[in-house]
């Protein structure tokens, strides 16, 4: 039994090219195509497709992620393969969070699309080979907590200063809030940075978040 797919892309040339390429495969049957979010909905309604090949940047109405989300809400068993220009871990992460099964970059070629469609129809996940590294780094990066538990190294005053700086106050403003001079804040800041080996405010924010100094 062949895999019934709907191709959703607003660009007619691309859509028909892709359709022609996918039709060559024996196990894939393109049962419909759509050029707008509205058409996607009506096509899915009509065709009872297995897999939706979805472009993320179709004009009109819902954004790509929103469209995918609403399709999956309506057809929970639908498998979606994202086919997009966005070589971007943020889109990648967001789309898998929404619940798609495949993410293919348009640059990659029809073979990747075919592989992704087959994987999705089996309920497996497929990430474009060129994005694999990004996917992993984006999974790993936010996980490691920074210097957790080292807040104990700070004096109470330093912790106050750390908290205010993490909330985006300038040295002078933090001084005003704590009734100390700007210079004192500056020296606290230097101490905090040195003690915790922090390089800049972003790292200080990260530290404050990991140690629950700010929420």
Smallest distance from other proteins to CB 50, Å: 22
CA dist list (Å): 41 to 45, 99, 101, 169: 6, 17, 19, 48
Query: Strand, coil or helix: what is 143?
Result: coil
Give Rg (Cα) of the chain: 25
CA dihedral 140, 146, 149, 155 (to 10 degrees): -170
Smallest distance from other proteins to CB 200, Å: 4
Cα 121 from Cα 114, distance rounded (Å)? 11
* Of 59, 58, 2, 56, the residue nearest 25 (C-alpha): 2
Cβ proximity to other proteins, 1 vs 144, nearer residue:
144
Cβ proximity to other proteins, 31 vs 209, nearer residue:
209
Cβ proximity to other proteins, 22 vs 127, nearer residue:
22
* Of 206, 186, 181, the residue nearest 196 (C-alpha): 206
Cβ proximity to other proteins, 45 vs 202, nearer residue:
202
Smallest distance from other proteins to CB 143, Å: 14
* Of 73, 19, 4, 16, the residue nearest 41 (C-alpha): 73
Smallest distance from other proteins to CB 62, Å: 10
Smallest distance from other proteins to CB 39, Å: 16
Cα 196 from Cα 194, distance rounded (Å)? 6
Task: List interacting residues with other proteins (CB under 8 A).
Answer: 9-11, 13-14, 17-18, 21, 56-57, 59, 63-65, 85-91, 94, 97, 106-107, 109-111, 166-168, 170-172, 182, 186, 199-203, 205-206, 208-209, 214-215
Cβ proximity to other proteins, 42 vs 190, nearer residue:
190
């Amino acid at each position: 039994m062949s895999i019934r797919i709907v191709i959703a892309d607003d660009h007619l040339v691309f859509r028909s090219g892709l359709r022609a390429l996918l039709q060559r495969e024996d196990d894939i049957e393109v049962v419909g195509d759509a050029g707008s979010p509205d058409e996607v909905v009506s096509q899915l309604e009509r065709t009872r497709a297995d897999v939706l090949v979805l472009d993320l940047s179709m004009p009109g109405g819902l954004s790509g992620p929103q469209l995918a989300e609403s399709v999956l809400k309506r057809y929970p068993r639908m498998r979606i393969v994202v086919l997009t220009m966005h070589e971007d871990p943020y889109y990648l992460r967001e789309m898998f969070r929404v619940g798609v099964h495949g993410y293919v970059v348009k640059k990659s070629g029809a073979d990747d699309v075919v592989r992704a469609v087959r994987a999705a129809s089996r309920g497996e996940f497929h990430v474009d080979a060129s994005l694999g590294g990004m996917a992993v780094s984006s999974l790993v990066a936010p996980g490691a907590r920074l210097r957790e538990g080292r807040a104990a190294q700070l004096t109470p005053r330093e912790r106050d200063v750390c908290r205010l700086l993490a909330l985006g106050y300038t040295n002078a403003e933090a001084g005003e809030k704590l009734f100390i001079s700007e210079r004192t804040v500056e020296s606290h800041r230097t101490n905090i940075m040195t003690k915790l080996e922090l390089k800049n405010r972003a790292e200080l924010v990260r530290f404050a978040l990991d140690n629950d100094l700010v929420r």
